[in-house]
Structure 1
Amino acid sequence: MLIEKLQKEHPVHWKNATAIRVLTLDAVAAANSGHSGMPMGMADVATVLFFNHLKFDPKTPSWPDRDRLILSAGHGSMLLYSLLYLTGYEDFPIEEIKNFRQLGARTAGHPENFLSQAIETTTGPLGQGIANSVGFAMAEEIQRAKFGKNVIDHYTYVFAGDGCLMEGVSQEAITLAGRQELSKLIVFWDNNNITIDGKVDLADATNQVDRFKSSGWHVLEIDGHDPIQIDQAIIEAKKSNKPTMIACKTHIALGSSAQDTSKGHGALTDKSLIEETKKVYGWSQDAFFVPTEVKAAWETIGQKGHEKKLSWENRFSSLSQKKQSEFLRMYSMEVPVALNRAINKFKKTITVDQPKVATRKSSEMVLNVINPIMTETIGGS
């Protein structure tokens, strides 16, 4: 969808999405480094996801039943940081956006989850976030089976780029997700056909749609700038009994002179380019400017999410005291008291028996002590 059509037919959405684009432009320019193109291209998808679907609470970033949002294309970190600022996360005031990629800031060049609870997982190596997301989705399935749908019922969303899908780890991950039918895993592929070196076909000729389908995924193809198509695709994805990949045809660095070029992948810091792009957007030239009504609209989403979290607390309180205690123990990462006793007993047995076994077998023996007590652990060989 062309910018002019977006501005005319979806003016409110356009402004909300463009706030992400201009914050990205200004933050990358201030840092004189970063990646502008991906956030500019995926802003429409992110806006529809947040306004219409994502379940989260800025006041409680670690709410157990929040939807998970993973930025596998971690170089596009300003997409995530802009969203966290706009929706009112305490860890991400405008000062953090202005200090993008600076020493001591939470807004690192690639998302780092130890800097804020609002960041689900550290991403940087391409494809890693896709693999992480499969673990997140499997954890949701296991917890839902244990504690019930009233307490655990959330989605895992992923933003992935062409580079993510080129990495070998992505194939292992999507194959496992398809085999396990992780229906609450939804991947948005930023299908812009551009890498840092040029067109994707310089290095890869894979038909990604067929690849995902053959791995057991539900696949949808949309215009990644059409808010109606984006919304309908997410609705359809939620109905599937398979994981879903939504191929979003986008324009990297949308609206700039670097659109659809390898230059658009990296840092757009040229002053005249930024000025011209803001003119195309119909936006103020003031750095880091977000209209009051746009910021208020974004913050309203966060407030609605807080209400959902309060409703969840009521449902959680209906669990038996035993299940509540076990749930809270697991989420606080506390070791059950019984585990220490079991390990001490196992040590005494090993000291006496002194079995001569392979390292892999000894690991199995230890896990057989741990797993029955810490039921949140999973694994295989």
Structure 2
Amino acid sequence: MENKDLIQKSIDTVRVLSADAVQKANSGHPGTPMALAPLGHVLWADTMHYNPKNPDWPNRDRFVLSCGHACMLQYSFLYLTGYGISLDDIKNFRQLHSITAGHPEYGLTPGIEVTTGPLGQGFANGVGMAIAQQYMAARYNKPDFNLFDYKIYAICSDGDIMEGVTAEAASLAGHLGLGNMIYFYDSNSITIEGDTDLAFDEDVSKRFEAYGWHVQNLPDINDLDALSEAIKNAQNETDRPSLIKVRSIIGYGSPNKHNSADAHGSPLGKDEVRLVKENFGFDRDKDFDVPAEVLGYYHTVAEKSAKNESDWNELYKKYKERHPDLAKEYETITSGKLPEGWEEKLPVFEAGEELATRKASGKTLNAIAEFLPQLIGGSADLAPSTDTNLEAYKSFSPKNREGRNFHFGIREHAMGAVLNGMVLSNYLIPYGATFLIFSDYMRPPLRLAAIMKVRTIMVFTHDSIGLGEDGTTHQPVEQLIGLRAVPNLTVIRPADANETAQAWRVAIKHTDGPVVIALTRQGIPIIDQKKYSGAQNLEKGAYILSDSEGEPQIILIATGSEVHLILEAQEELKKSNIQARVVSMPSWNLFDKQDDTYKEEVFPKNIRKRLAVEAGSPVGWMKYTTDDGDVIGINRFGESAPGEEVMKEFGFTVENVVKRAKALLSLKV
């Protein structure tokens, strides 16, 4: 078989394999993998540097399938090139406990760089990956040692291009001049409802040119030479991200369903799959037919690509000899370890003054940044308000790739997705900041970070009605409970400056999912560490901050700015001979992970009278207050007024806490 014929047979194998897998699952998206098989071939056979035997090789090129519904394209090439995916895994596409899920999942399938599916997320994740490469190259690359020069290749669809997060991320990438991004826009003009002109007819190429991208247009995805030339042009364009618009025919090879919405999100049907096989010269009655020469061909190209890692390893050995300190730092960080002694740099705040926890967070960040070079981040145009600027460092920009302060612009959605891409470098600990109310703009990337269990850190300030005059539009009410409901997401709302410092300690050491730190705008008292239990107990999620002198009659529970209220209420109740225990509960998520012995120690089953106080929705608190308890919370939107007045209006006062506690105890108020 001539090489040209073998290449065509290889491409058609991917098409048939995709159609078979979707048909067997009776679910999925066959049309796009069939259309994109030529592009997949050029990427895996001729373009990308990768090693199937070591999917985590640090300088591998990253591939992102933003249109995750087309995952049979990716699964097919991962299988054919020798990653840890078998033909049986392909046959079990979309089945229970299979590693070939309905959309690509990071950590589940070897070779998958990021979990995609919600359209536009992968597009923005790739921007974060590109930023990570640029930062690492600026820090570690030296003359004659180009350690990190990998590129980010991504495929996005019409649907990706329509999503708002794509616009945000594309604008940011163009501004930053991320020339290590090469994206392919699959313009097949088909969505689930029909032709894209139902709702979409813009000139995407001109739009991306306006963003500052290098744009090329290819009329036929089946022209392999044109694809290869376009990729080389993009690789040579190092000052701008590249978009290669390719025209494809969805369901290519299907006689009756090509170029139609029928090929998008449903199996082709058994009879149509047989016709597809006939069309490509395969046995119509043989399912999952992978010719031996095709499998051998892709294994050979993968082995050639793997040589890039061997060359890199030799380069790194010499690098270690020439730059031992940088090599040691890099190896420490990538091993998952943290530099020794960094926790000793966490500030300790003295009682006697009031300090907003957002300001305490800023002081903490600046105290530890020097010792954690992998800690970088910024805000969605709110650094002065969220106190997240690293004062000793410059900004990441087209002229300074070593900058550690990021300016995401007013692009909260993209910020979250870009942070996810940054953390997937397995090197960086990135953080992003905005107001808690705007976490609503970030739910998709927060949820995906939780699914992937990656360590992104979100700093959400202005965390309650206590922010004051900005009023209902900016005062969060339902956000905390909404975030707490996300599996694998750890939410921490510290009570004062010292708990805030400890929240950062926990967040940086946490490796099992994203962390949210919710902080106040208003100043709140710093709790006396000598008089009350230490803030280091924050890591347990809830702890006895101040116990009663005798057996507690009631347990007062609070988070954040309301903790000082229950401390004062404890003193007032003591005057009425009421014994109250005060529990600071900065994180439900962390507390729920403690053993039953500790939980019983904090919340004894025999103490049923419990009062929770939080300036947010009361939903969920009954889990900890029990049926005999009560919650002082908020069931409606706030008001525009000075923060102290708003807090008083909603009952967040010492007097009301005492009143509600006595009512629980059925005592005369």
The interval holding the TM-score normalised by the smaller chain is over 0.9
The 3 A distance-change label for structure 1 pair 32 and 317 is: same
Per the alignment, residue 221 of structure 1 pairs with 217
| Contact 1:184/1:243 (<8 A) preserved | yes
Question: For residue 309 of structure 2, what is the aligned residue in structure 1?
Answer: 309
**Structure-2 residue corresponding to 1:258:** 257
Equivalent residues in 2 for 1:212-291, closer than 5 Å: 212-222=208-218, 223-240=220-237, 241-256=239-254, 257-285=256-284, 286-291=286-291
Letter of the 2:214 partner, please give it: H
Is the Cα contact below 8 Å between 2:49 and 2:306 reproduced in 1?
A: no
CA deviation map 1:146-186 (0-9, x unaligned): 11152111110001000001110001100111011110101
Which deviates more, 267-276 or 227-236?
267-276
Q: Aligned residue for 2:189? A: 193
Q: Which protein has the larger Cα radius of gyration, Structure 1 or Structure 2?
A: 2
Q: 1:324 to 1:37 in 2, by over 3 A?
A: same
Residue 269 (structure 1) shift? 4.0
Q: Residues 104 and 10 from structure 1, CA distance in 2 versus in 1: closer, same or farther, beyond 3 angstroms?
A: same
Partner residue of 2:372 out of 371, 374, 379: 374
Output the CA distance in 2 between the equivalents of 1:370 and 1:60: 33
Partner of 2:82: 88
CA distance in 2, matches of 1:78, 1:158: 15
Q: Is the partner of 2:109 in helix, strand or coil?
A: coil
Distance 1:8 1:336 in 2: 56
Q: Distance in 2 between matches of 1:269 and 1:298?
A: 27
Q: Report the AA paired with residue 246 of structure 1.
A: I
Are residue 298 (structure 1) and residue 293 (structure 2) matched? no
Point out the more displaced range, 77-86 or 261-270.
261-270
Of the three residues 149, 154, 160, the one matched with 2:156 is 160
Greater displacement, 79-88 / 301-310: 301-310
Q: Which has the higher contact order (CA 8 A, sep 6+)?
A: 1
| Cα distance in structure 1, aligned partners of 2:280 and 2:354 | 71
Matched, 1:331 2:327: no
Match of 2:61 in 1: 67
Q: TM-score, length-normalised on structure 1?
A: 0.93
SS at match of 2:77: helix
How far residue 367 of structure 1 moved from its aligned partner, in angstroms, is: 2.2
Equivalent positions of 1:34-183 (< 5 A) are 34-90=28-84, 92-148=85-141, 150-183=146-179
Deviations 1:125-145 (A, max 9, x none): 100001000000010011111
SS in 2 for 1:25: helix
| Residue type at the aligned position of 2:312 | W
Aligned length: 369
1-side partners of 2:136 and 2:92: how far apart? Answer: 38
Spell out the pairing of 1:352-363 with structure 2 (5 A cutoff). 352=351, 355-357=354-356, 359=358, 361-363=359-361
Tell me if structure 2 keeps the 8 A contact 1:62–1:117. no
* Deviation, structure 1 residue 205: 2.1
The 3-state SS of whatever aligns with 2:355 is: coil
User: How far, CA to CA, are the matches of 1:329 and 1:131 in structure 2?
Assistant: 28
Question: Partners in 2 of 1:50 and 1:328 — Cα distance?
Answer: 29
Q: Structure 1 185/98 Cα, relative in aligned 2: closer, same or farther at 3 Å?
A: same
Mapped contact 1:198–1:261 kept (Cα < 8 A): yes
1:208-253 Cα offsets, whole Å, 9 max, x none, are 1011100000000112111011000000000112100000100001
Deviation of the 1:52 alpha carbon = 1.1
Task: Specify which structure has the higher proportion of helix.
Answer: 1
What 5-or-longer segments of structure 2 have no aligned partner? 380-669
TM-fit CA distance, 1:290: 1.0
**Partner of residue 204, structure 1:** 200
CA contact (8 A) 1:150 1:316 kept: no
CA contact (8 A) 2:83 2:110 kept: no
- Kept in 1: contact 2:64–2:153 (CA 8 A): yes
Structure 1 354/251 Cα, relative in aligned 2: closer, same or farther at 3 Å?
A: farther
Partner of 2:344: 341
* Alpha-carbon distance in 1 for matches of 2:116, 2:368: 29
Q: How far apart, in 2, do the equivalents of 1:334 and 1:175 lie?
A: 35
Partner of 1:4: none
Structure 2 distance, partners of 1:352, 1:342, is: 19
Say which SS state the counterpart of residue 156 (structure 2) adopts. Answer: strand
Superposed CA deviations along residues 354-376 of structure 1, whole A, max 9, x for unmatched, are 552263x3433332233222212
Tell me the alpha carbon deviations over residues 50-105 of structure 1, each in whole angstroms, 9 at most, x when there is no partner. 11110000000000000000010001111110010000012x01111010001111
Q: CA deviation at 1:37?
A: 0.8
Question: Is the contact between residue 32 and residue 269 of structure 1 (CA under 8 Å) also seen in structure 2?
Answer: no
